[in-house]
Amino acid sequence: MQLKPIFLGNTAINNNVFLAPLAGYTNYAFRRLCKGYGAGLCYTEMVSAKGLKYGSENTKELLYTDGEEGLCAAQIFGSEPETMRAACEHDALAPFPIVDINMGCPVPKIYKNGEGSALLEDPFLAEKIVKECVKSGKIITVKFRIGITADKFITTEFAKRMEGAGASLITVHGRTKDKIYAGEVHFAEIAKAKAAVQIPVIANGGVFSNADAETLLNETGADGVMVARAALFHPQIFCELTGMETESKLQMFEKQLKWTQQVCDERFTTVFMRKMAAFYVKGERGAAAYKERLFSTQSPQEILAIAREIWE
């Protein structure tokens, strides 16, 4: 695909291939891995603005970063403008110059709480949230879907409102809330968002290969693409999209395991890395048997031993 830098004011992002925020997965080690494979910008898991307000330790752990990771964006969710601004100004977000506001999460408990994709139904509140967050001095971006259901797309109006409220970039997931993560990606709706605003537009949905990325860009005119689920199975998709050299699965796995161990305890590392190994082993001969063994492991060392058996 055609690479180009993305400029958000005075902040330059090296290229237009982004890693999506993925709840439960885009922690420090995974982001650093994808960044090393060429991702121009990576996002944290979505973080609760209220969680930051009330000092949730779990929320703060989601925001761990260091100087080795490079430029990274934090994603927050919530529905109270003042609380969202306070989150942007929280010390835990100090390392993140870019804050993305989640207006697309379809998970029922988020939606029923008036957060995530529920904001698509209240554009005035969505505007107010962005305006308030901009006052924090952070670069504010917004990720949203094209509507709740296909009988009422909100893409054009919503894109204009986000730009008008002060967003520096929007990411448009080309599916409606009711489709969750499956179904058709509506290229035409993303194209309408691109035509409606002057700020950069990133297209999200259905990118599993370089060909998919090229199709998404050609059909929408977007400035870049965001990769989500494909990265869980194949983090080196970013090498494919950016032309970087790949390495072996074992090298990749060992690197991610080491970085996870650096910042997480043994229990979390074990649970997380056996999930990742299960993603990476998909398509391998004997994958089902390997997965069964992986999920019976009790330590990172056991997981690594199986990984070496599979990929050495």
Residue-by-residue DSSP string for 244-307: PPP--HHHHHHHHHHHHHHHS-HHHHHHHHHHHHHHHTTTSTTHHHHHHHHTT--SHHHHHHHH
Active site residue 72: no
Rounded CA separation 225/15 (Å) = 10
What backbone phi and psi angles, to 5 degrees, belong to 226? Answer: -120, 130
- Structure tokens, 252: 């990749």
**Cβ pair 77, 99 in contact under 8 A:** no
**Cβ pair 77, 116 in contact under 8 A:** yes
**Cβ pair 62, 47 in contact under 8 A:** yes
Q: Which of 42, 105, 133, 239 is catalytic?
A: 105
Q: Closest Cα partner for 16 from 39, 46, 47?
A: 39
Rounded CA separation 126/128 (Å) = 5
Catalytic residues: 105
